[in-house]
Copies of this chain bind each other. A is one copy, B any other.
Amino acid sequence: MGFRIGVVGATGATGQITLALLRERNFPVDELRLFASRRSAGRRLPWAGGEVEIEALEDGRFDGLDLVLNATSTSLAREWVPRMVEAGAIVSDKSSAYRLDPSVPLVVREINGDAARSHKGIVASPNCTTAVAVMALAPLHHAAGVKGVLSSSYQSVSGVGRDAVAELLETTTKALDQQDALWGLAKLDLPDPVAFPHPLAFNVFPQCESFEEGSDESTEEQKMQSETRKILGAADLMLQATAVRVPVVVGHSVSLSVSLEREMSPAEAREVIAEFAGVRVLDDPSKKIYPTPQQAAGIDDILVGRIRRNPILENGLTLFACGDNLRKGASLNAIQTAELVLGIS
């Protein structure tokens, strides 16, 4: 009574977490097929006591699959997802290729799970930072209507890929030997960054993804607004994000200022957030209790804390949320969405 599942991008960071989550959740898998770039084809990955050989993305290979969990780049998704659908599979896509397509539901199970039913072969999952932020915003939105959001993020590097993590760790090792430079007394001598626009070891920078020529917002920042609107079904919601990369491996954090339709006390906000599935309130700062990315890494729940009145915004609240960008920010959400579509959950 299981399903024939394909995992595309199986060797990447999100692909690996996808395999771990399929196990953790006892996902009913009758047959597992793994796909990756031609470079990885032929390698074998452990599964269910045996091994599965990785296949290259090639036409004709998707026949017979019920579901594809797709973790490719956006450009590869544009090319291959339609062929997977044509071959008869439902595709739960983690890329940004179809998120804003009006014919594709953009789904977060706890928020707009019903939307998944209207799929025409593809269901999309949000951007990793959007997923964390929208899980904190949704309970407030349901209770009191979110009108406006200002977000400053603290984004980890694992979503960029394994190479990016390796680059952070290698340059951190090199920087540790240059204490004068870390103190600002000399120039840091690090190799030119490849995965990042600037060296990230002991640094932060206000760029995630890229800026189109002349644009004052990064593509990451644009996604935050458009995807949050679509998921919350709030076309007029104004959201401005400042997306900042920080030297963290797993776990995205967002500092959120929220304007609501009606006044809501911090106590009520804690209550509605705590009652919402998939979110946990950690909020007792004088006891050092608040979310951190290290606490959020490796767990499914989004953590929310530092909840207080915002004195600048109308009916304003301020909060700080952390989530695992590989789980709820990517693989977990795509699997939860697939479970909905397949009627598993």
Q: Which residues from B are CB-within-8-Å of A305?
A: 206
Minimum Cβ distance to chain B for residue A286 (Å): 4
Contacts of A182 in B (CB 8 A): 165, 169, 249-250
- Shortest C-beta distance, A187 to chain B (Å), equals 8
Copy count, this protein chain: 2
The segment from A27-35, A104-112, A115-123, A215-223 that touches chain B is A215-223
By Cβ-Cβ distance, the 5 closest A-B pairs, closest first, are A184-B297, A184-B298, A152-B152, A152-B255, A211-B286
13 inter-chain pairs at a CB distance below 8 angstroms, sorted by A residue, are A149-B312, A150-B150, A152-B152, A165-B183, A169-B176, A169-B179, A198-B288, A202-B247, A203-B294, A215-B285, A240-B312, A244-B320, A246-B247
- Contact indicator B150/A202 (Cβ below 8 Å): no
Residues of A within 8 A of B (CB): 13, 20, 148-150, 152, 154, 158, 165, 169, 172-173, 176, 179, 182-186, 188, 197-199, 202-207, 210-218, 238, 240, 242, 244, 246-251, 253, 255, 257, 259, 266, 285-286, 288, 290-294, 297-298, 305-308, 310-313, 318, 320, 324, 326-327
Q: A203-B293, A206-B285, A238-B311 are in contact. List 11 more A-B contacts (CB 8 A).
A: A152-B255, A182-B249, A183-B249, A188-B294, A202-B294, A205-B292, A206-B306, A216-B307, A240-B257, A255-B255, A257-B257
Cα–Cα distance between A313 and B238 once the two chains are bound (Å): 11
A293: which of B204, B240, B253, B259 is its contact (CB, 8 Å)?
Answer: B204
Verify A298–B152 contact, CB threshold 8 A: no
